[in-house]
């Protein structure tokens, strides 16, 4: 049999479930995982999504630290326990591309954050329908040509790629625009934001702070584009250890002399800054080649030839420009729906008409603090869909 569905609050369940007095209010629902009962939607304000957790053994309530991007409002939702790590939440009365949310309660990210915060932690992650390609992390020493290659990709395939706009404490160069090339910020502001969990990764590079915010990656995923991150080797290492399932590419110069020539010819740094960047380049090149972080090493000798190799790695054919992804169909989900889980699929039973929509979770990737990608959503004729073991 499939797993028991989570409970949507109705009058019978409002105050009593599983022998526990939950005193559920308004739009609250609950899911039991192990010895804990997670109550979702738990604030007096129905437009704000709170979480409270009951320890079923001791009867104690805890309000956890809530991380990730949470839904703005859940005026009615259904939820189901997916496994011991996470809960699936489907918002009622919404467009299907806005309706799928995950509450992570025991993933690696949540366990790490519990150690950092020393509190109970849960983390929201929004579900993205459809299969955008894996994000691309591009690293390499300053002046090697990362920005040039990324610009070529973005110009040739503007609907396919989106750039993750990093935060930095360094001063803008002449032609750089705030919010386009970087989010330029102050050191103390960025430090505070790092503490509050805003960044997927961050590092001190050439004497300044640089970091990729969770939001920078999410806005690209939400636009259905493949995200490109231009980050240093330390950042690449952090992303490797995160939930972002990316391709890692390291760009090398043909020689150290050529790197120096390019950096000087670019003319954007002072003599002192160039020296610092060249000193750091030695260690970066060594790490790039030997650390095992990178899936591909690209030598940027002839620019056009290197660009062709990059496109090959990314699986871009000349026809790719025209062959844009067909976006998944968007459904209107009603106010009245229930969920049943069968293996790695969740059947969304939609209201009196009994239309069924299947959410296939077999290829999910990513997760908090970013989006959960790789979801497939499709309507089925309930007479033909194989839903054996489903308990509705
Ligand atoms: P990065 O983003 O890695 O710091 P840039 O893309 O800014 O490097 O490139 C540094 C300089 O080198 C720029 O002036 C750029 O035009 C030039 N450049 C990039 N690739 C090549 C190449 N293959 N051959 C010669 N010059 C290049
Ligand atoms: P620049 O100052 O030349 O724009 O960038 C200097 C270095 O910082 C480059 O190696 C670039 O890849 C790296 N960098 C840019 N943004 C980020 C970021 O968000 N995180 C990390 N870790 N490095 C970054």
What are the tens digits of pLDDT across the range 57-81? 898 999 999 998 888 777 788 999 9
Across residues 214-219, what is the average pLDDT? 93
Q: Are residues 213 and 305 in the same domain?
A: yes
The answer to whether the CB of 231 is under 6 A from ligand 2 is: yes
Does the CB atom of residue 206 touch ligand 1 within 6 A? Answer: no
Closest CA to 15 of 2, 28, 34: 28
Q: Whose CA is nearest to atom 18 of ligand 2?
A: 211
- How many beta carbons lie within 10 A of that of residue 305, not counting itself? 11
| Contact status, residue 77 vs residue 89, Cβ threshold 8 Å | yes
Residues 161 and 231 in one domain: yes
Question: 212 in ligand 2 pocket by Cβ < 6 Å?
Answer: yes
pLDDT at residue 1, as a whole number: 39
Q: What integer pLDDT is reported at residue 22 of this predicted model?
A: 73
Say whether both 349 and 294 belong to one domain.
no
Task: Confirm whether 88 is domain-assigned.
Answer: yes
What is the rounded CA–CA span in Å between residue 333 and residue 96?
Answer: 6
Whether 87 has a pLDDT exceeding 90, the answer reads: yes
CATH number of the domain enclosing 226: 3.40.50.300
State whether the beta carbon of 135 lies less than 6 angstroms from ligand 1. no
Residue written as tokens 């160069």? Answer: 173
Question: Is the CB of 262 inside a 6 Å radius of any atom of ligand 1?
Answer: yes
**Residue 318 covered by a domain:** no
Q: Which ligand is nearest to the CA of 281?
A: 2
Residue with the larger pLDDT of the pair 249 and 8: 249
Q: Note whether 198 and 279 are same-domain residues.
A: yes
Evaluate if residue 356 carries a pLDDT over 70: yes
**How many structural domains compose the chain?**
2
Q: Which pLDDT score is estimated for 355? A: 78
Q: Give the residue among 171, 179, 182 at the shortest CA–CA distance from 147.
A: 182
Cis ω for the linkage preceding 211 (within 30 of 0):
no
Question: Active-site residues: which are they?
Answer: 173, 266, 277
The string of pLDDT tens digits covering residues 25-40 is: 777 889 999 999 999 9
Whether 99 has a pLDDT exceeding 80, the answer reads: yes
Residue with the smallest CA separation from ligand 2 atom 12 is: 231
How far, in Å, CA of 328 to CA of 268, rounded?
A: 44
Domain with 215, as residue range(s), is: 136-313
The residues near 335 (Cβ < 8 Å, ≥ 6 apart) are 76, 92, 93, 351
pLDDT band at 325 (very low <50, low <70, confident <90, very high): very low
Strands (E) in 171-267, as ranges, are 182-184, 199-205, 208-213, 226-230, 247-252
How far is the centre of ligand 1, averaged over its atoms, from the C-alpha of 148 (Å)? 6
pLDDT of 20 > 70? The answer is no
- 289 with 360, same domain: the answer is no
Structure tokens at 201: 């990764």
Q: Is residue 322 part of a domain?
A: no
pLDDT at residue 281, as a whole number: 96
112 and 158 belong to one structural domain: no
The finding on whether 142 has its CB within 6 A of some atom of ligand 1 is yes
* Cβ count near 239 (within 10 Å): 23
* Residue 320, domain member (yes or no): no
**Burial profile 344-373: b = 16 or more Cβ within 10 angstroms, e = fewer:** ebbbbbbeeeebbbbbebeebbbbbbbbbb
| Number of neighbours of residue 321 by Cβ within 10 angstroms | 13
* Window from 46-50, 204-208, 234-238 with minimum mean pLDDT: 46-50
Whether 231 maps to a domain, the answer reads yes
What is the best residue among 145, 182, 277 to mutate for testing ligand 1's pocket, by most ligand atoms within 8 Å of CB? 145
Name residues whose C-beta falls within 8 Å of residue 11's C-beta, 6 or more positions apart in sequence.
none
At 320 the pLDDT is 55
- Residue 152 inside a domain? The answer is yes
Looking up tokens 């579900």 gives 127
- Identify the CA nearest to 196 among candidates 18, 73, 369: 369
Burial of 116: CB neighbours in 10 Å, binned 0-12, 13-18, 19+: exposed
Distance in Å, CA 280 to ligand 2 centroid: 12
- Tell me if 319 is assigned to some domain: no
Q: Check if 265 has its Cβ closer than 6 Å to any atom of ligand 1.
A: yes
The predicted pLDDT at position 27 comes to 79
pLDDT in tens, 113-137: 999 999 999 999 999 887 678 899 9
Q: Which of 254, 282, 313 is the last residue of a domain?
A: 313
For residues 141 and 126, membership in a common domain is answered with: no
- What span, in angstroms and rounded, lies between the C-alpha atoms of 272 and 130? 47
* 45 and 22 in a common domain: yes
Same domain (yes/no): 143, 124? no
Q: Show which of 258, 280, 313 is a domain's final residue.
A: 313
CA 103/CA 31 separation, integer angstroms: 11
CA of residue 267 to ligand 2 center, whole Å: 17
On whether both 98 and 115 belong to a single domain, the answer is: yes
Ligand nearest to the CA of 148: 1
* 334 contacts 317 by C-beta, under 8 angstroms: no
Confidence of residue 12 (pLDDT cuts 50, 70, 90): very low
Which of 313, 347, 379 is the last residue before a domain boundary? 313
Sign of the alpha-carbon dihedral angle for 105, 328, 130, 179: negative
In whole angstroms, give the CA distance from residue 276 to residue 291: 22
Separation CA 96–CA 138 (nearest Å)? 33
**Region 239-264: what's the mean pLDDT?**
95
| Averaged pLDDT, 253-275 | 95
Looking at all shown ligands, the one closest to residue 273's CA atom is 2
pLDDT confidence of residue 7: 45
Give me the mean pLDDT over the 215-244 stretch.
93
199/267 same-domain check: yes
Write the residue with the smallest CA distance to atom 10 of ligand 2: 232
157 with 288, same domain? yes
CA–CA separation, 58 and 104 (whole Å): 22
Give domain status of residue 321, yes or no. Answer: no
Q: Is 205 exposed, middle or buried (0-12, 13-18, 19+ CB in 10 A)?
A: buried
Q: Strand 100-104 relative to strand 86-91: parallel, antiparallel, unpaired?
A: antiparallel
Q: What rounded mean pLDDT belongs to the chain?
A: 86
| 105 C-alpha to ligand 2 centroid (Å) | 32
Q: Name which residue leads in pLDDT, 330 or 162.
A: 162
């Amino acid at each position: 049999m499939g797993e028991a569905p989570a409970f949507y609050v109705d009058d019978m369940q409002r105050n009593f479930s599983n022998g526990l007095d939950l005193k559920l209010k308004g739009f609250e629902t609950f899911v039991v995982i192990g010895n804990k009962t997670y109550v979702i939607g738990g604030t007096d304000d129905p437009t704000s999504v709170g979480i409270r957790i009951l320890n079923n053994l001791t009867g104690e309530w805890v309000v956890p630290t809530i991380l990730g991007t949470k839904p703005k409002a859940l005026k009615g939702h259904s939820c189901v326990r997916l496994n011991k790590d996470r809960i699936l939440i489907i918002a009622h009365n919404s467009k299907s591309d806005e309706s799928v949310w995950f509450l992570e309660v025991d993933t690696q990210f949540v366990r790490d954050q519990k150690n950092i915060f020393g509190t109970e932690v849960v983390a929201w992650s929004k579900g993205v329908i459809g299969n955008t390609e894996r994000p691309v992390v591009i690293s390499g020493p300053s002046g090697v040509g990362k920005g040039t290659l990324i610009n070529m990709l973005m110009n040739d395939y503007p609907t396919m790629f989106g750039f993750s706009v990093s935060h930095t404490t360094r001063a803008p160069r002449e032609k750089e625009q705030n919010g386009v090339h970087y989010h330029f910020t102050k050191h103390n502001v960025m430090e505070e934001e790092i503490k509050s969990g805003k960044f997927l990764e961050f590092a001190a590079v050439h004497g300044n702070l640089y970091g990729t915010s969770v939001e920078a990656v999410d806005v690209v995923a939400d636009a259905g584009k493949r995200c490109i991150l231009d980050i240093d080797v330390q950042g690449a290492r952090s992303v490797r250890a995160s939930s972002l399932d990316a391709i890692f590419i390291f760009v090398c110069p043909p020689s150290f002399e050529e790197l120096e020539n390019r950096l000087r010819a670019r003319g954007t740094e002072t003599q002192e800054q160039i020296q610092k960047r060249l000193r750091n380049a030695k260690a970066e090149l060594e790490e790039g080649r030997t650390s095992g972080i990178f899936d591909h090493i690209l030598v940027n000798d002839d620019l056009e030839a290197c660009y062709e190799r990059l496109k090959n790695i990314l699986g871009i054919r000349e026809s790719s420009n025209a062959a844009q992804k067909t976006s998944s169909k968007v459904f209107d989900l009603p106010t009245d729906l229930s969920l049943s889980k069968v293996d790695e699929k969740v059947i969304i039973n939609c209201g009196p008409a009994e239309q069924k929509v299947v959410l296939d979770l077999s290829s999910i990737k990513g997760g908090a603090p970013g989006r959960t990608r790789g979801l497939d959503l499709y309507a089925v004729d309930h007479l033909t869909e194989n839903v054996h073991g489903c308990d509705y």
